[in-house]
Amino acid sequence: MKKSYEQFSARRELLDKQYDETYVQKQHKRGKLTAHERILLLFDEGTFEETDAYIPPAEASFGKTVKAFGDGVVTGFGRVNGRLVYAYSQDFNVLGGSLGSRHAAKIVKIQDMALKTGSPVVGLIDSGGARIQEGITGLNGYGDIFKRNVYSSGVIPQISVIMGPAAGGAVYSPALTDFIFMTADTSYMFVTGPNVVKEVLNETVSTEDLGGASVHSTKSGVADFVYSDDENTILGVKRLLSFLPLNNMENPPLIKSDDTAKRVEDQLRNIVPEDPDKPYDVKEIVELLVDNGDYMEVAENHASNIFTAFARMDGQVVGIVANQPKVMAGTLDIDSSIKGARFINICNSFNIPIITLEDVPGFLPGTDQEHDGIIRHGAKLLYAYTFASVPKITVILRKAYGGAYIVMNSKGIGGDFVFAWPTAEIAVMGPDGAIAILYRKELAESEDPVMLKKELTQKYREEVTNPYIADEKGFIDEVIDPAMTRSKIITSLKALDRKTEYRPKRKHGNMPL
Ligand code: HXC
């Protein structure tokens, strides 16, 4: 026994030696935490169990094989806020965190265990991509990972956290997962790097400008969350996990707060301006509605004309989708349609009710939008809302015009409860467009077209757009006092608690892509 224990200890000592101070400093000098430090930060103290720590890299014919344990990735499981989560963390210090065959096999094992046990997977990515000297074997490893990403999609939450390079085809594992986090300044993602861009297009671009966190959180929309450093990024991941169930068969965790369900918010009567053309910040409304004003915004700086966030109402997790009148008057364009659709799909996959706050003048007009396919992309939002079977509640704050009204979870496409504030305007189009079409001749012939237009606008608001008409026709459930909105939503959520909706049997739907 003594001899075998000595062998056991010697092996352990070798492993500890690998992770000595020089190793730690090498990564810290890059402004990054080590793979172990990151994974330990993710899990509740003392709960991380490492798997396959002793696996060395495979022998490769093209040299550059190192004698190192772990093959450049730390894998295992533990508890995050007391709940089981599987994770892997790539180790840039070992062959640039590149993905060799054994490295891939370790990740695949984690993915399989997570799927079998119905637990989320978090991937902490810091890698030079497929290990060049392993050739096809490393490459094939990505195929194995992608396959599991797809099979796990909609079953267990998958979160990718980019904390260094993610280049080449390797970006497609994160892209297949539910959420992407990036750490500012130290992470980047691209399919082809600056050198190839220079060679092929003769374009000079820096790594940051091509695929840094700032680009992906604003322009491309690839990254859902960006934090300043490794610690804050991992704290963000933990917070996100608190809104998600462990798998699609469970509900997200209910966390009751001291906020009261029947809270009356008088301030809500004054946020939406009387003048329909005046902007306001819909986040002010969200803050007053949700438990303790606390929400986690998703893709904050991309397509900000639509707001998406997780929050709690009376302890129950909800997904909030809101038009943002402060940005592009809250119109729907291609990017916001895609952003909204993706968020709704995630909510629906993971049993999160959707609350829609609507103030939308319509889809953004113009040749750019039409030529880039607003028809196809706008349909994504329509499809996602219609297909979602979780409880769906809408509050029309102000404008609800035309196709955009229908798309934003109207009764027609399956909204369970649709409420309207007294400021709501529900119509085929706004007064300007309607009067221009219906009264073109009269306006042209009028001696005072300005006055006539003013009168017609007033008449249109009274006779066509006011929410009491929709209320009396049953297209909305009630015109409500804005101050009572929180209580109305919470009561409606409880009424929908056991909602079940059946869809015709099929292999899968054909969402417009
Ligand atoms: C093997 C690699 C490696 C790789 C980096 N290293 N990438 N080893 N395979 N893919 C090694 C380096 O040789 C070096 O080893 C160490 O990691 C650190 O790399 P450096 O270049 O010194 O670091 P840095 O200057 O920070 O640059 C990082 C980098 C660069 C930008 C990631 O290394 C790089 O461009 N690597 C190649 C990226 C790439 O094109 N990968 C293939 C992507 S295609 P030493 O021994 O010197 O410390 C792909 C296909 C996926 O992944 C297919 C899916 C369908």
DSSP 401-417: EHHHHHHTT-TTTT-SE
- Predicted pLDDT at 430: 87
**What residues does 88 pair with on adjacent strands?**
75, 123
Amino acid at position 18, single letter:
Q
Q: What is the number of the ligand 1 atom nearest to the C-alpha of 30? A: 26
CB atoms within 10 A of CB 394: 26
User: What is the full per-residue pLDDT of the chain (513 aa) written as tens digits?
Assistant: 688 899 899 999 999 999 999 999 999 999 999 999 999 999 999 999 999 999 988 887 776 777 889 999 999 999 999 999 999 999 999 999 999 999 999 999 999 999 999 999 999 999 999 999 998 988 999 999 999 999 999 999 999 999 999 988 789 999 999 999 999 999 999 998 999 999 999 999 999 999 999 999 999 999 999 999 999 999 999 999 999 999 999 999 999 999 999 999 999 999 999 888 899 999 999 999 999 999 999 999 999 999 999 999 999 999 999 999 999 999 999 999 999 999 999 999 999 999 999 999 999 999 999 999 999 999 999 999 999 999 999 999 999 999 999 999 999 999 999 999 999 999 998 898 899 999 999 999 999 999 999 999 999 988 999 999 999 999 999 999 999 999 999 999 999 999 999 889 999 999 999
pLDDT of residue 1: 66
- Cβ burial of 232 (10 Å; 0-12, 13-18, 19+) is middle
Burial bucket for residue 440 (CB in 10 Å: 0-12, 13-18, 19+): exposed
Architecture in CATH of 266-428+466-495: Alpha-Beta Complex (3.90)
At residue 502, the pLDDT reads 87
Alpha-carbon distance of 317 to 242, in angstroms, equals: 9
DSSP string, 187-229: -EEESS-HHHHHHHH-----HHHHHBHHHHHHTS---SEEESS
Which atom of ligand 1 lies at the shortest distance from residue 129's CA?
52
Q: Is 131 in the pocket of ligand 1 (CB under 6 A)?
A: yes
ipTM of the complex: 0.98
Give the pLDDT score at 66: 79
Structural tokens at position 455 = 């009168």
Helix (H, G, I), strand (E, B), or coil: what is residue 360? Answer: strand
Q: Which tokens hold the place of 378? A: 């706008």
Kindly give the number of the ligand 1 atom that is closest to the alpha carbon of 96: 17
CB-based burial label for 88 (10 Å; 0-12, 13-18, 19+): buried
Domain range annotation of the chain: 17-241, 266-428+466-495
Burial of 439 from C-beta contacts in 10 A (0-12 / 13-18 / 19+): middle
Mutate to test the pocket of ligand 1, among 98, 148, 171 (most ligand atoms within 8 A of CB): 98
Is residue 65 classed as helix, strand or coil in its secondary structure? coil
Q: Is 72 a catalytic residue?
A: no
**Distance of CA 91 from the midpoint of ligand 1 (Å):** 12
Distance 86 CA to ligand 1 centre (A): 26
Report d(CA 426, CA 391) in Å as an integer. 22
Q: Clarify whether 412 is annotated catalytic.
A: no
d(CA 208, ligand 1 centre) in Å: 17
Residue 403 annotated as catalytic: yes
If one residue of 23, 95, 208 were mutated to test the ligand 1 pocket, choosing by the most ligand atoms within 8 A of its CB, it would be: 95
Q: At CA 288, angle to CA 286 and CA 289, rounded to 5?
A: 65
Catalytic residue among 404, 424, 434, 470: 404
pLDDT value, residue 442: 92
Nearest to 168 by CA among 144, 188, 147, 148: 188
Six-digit token string for 265: 């918010």
Query: Could you give the CA distance from residue 232 to residue 74 in angstroms, rounded to a whole number?
Result: 20
Are residues 70 and 52 in contact, defined by beta-carbon separation less than 8 angstroms?
Answer: yes
**Fold agreement between 17-241 and 266-428+466-495:** yes
pTM, 2 dp: 0.96
Instruction: Pick the closest to residue 239 from 292, 185, 302, 298 (CA basis).
Output: 298
Per CATH, the number for 17-241 is 3.90.226.10
Cα angle vertex 230, ends 160, 90, to 5°?
A: 50
Work out the number of other CB atoms within 10 angstroms of the CB of residue 375: 12
Q: How many angstroms separate the CA atoms of 482 and 491, rounded? A: 15
- Position 415: which residue type? G
Among 138, 474, 486, 78, CA closest to 313 = 486
Residue 60: per-residue pLDDT: 73
Is 95's C-beta closer than 6 angstroms to any atom of ligand 1? yes
Task: Indicate which residue's Cα is closest to atom 1 of ligand 1.
Answer: 131
Active site residue 311: no
Candidate list 70, 123, 168, 236, residue with the active-site label: 168
- Which residue's CA is the nearest one to ligand 1's atom 51? 169
β-bridge partners, 401: 427
Q: How far is CA 369 from the centre of its chain?
A: 23
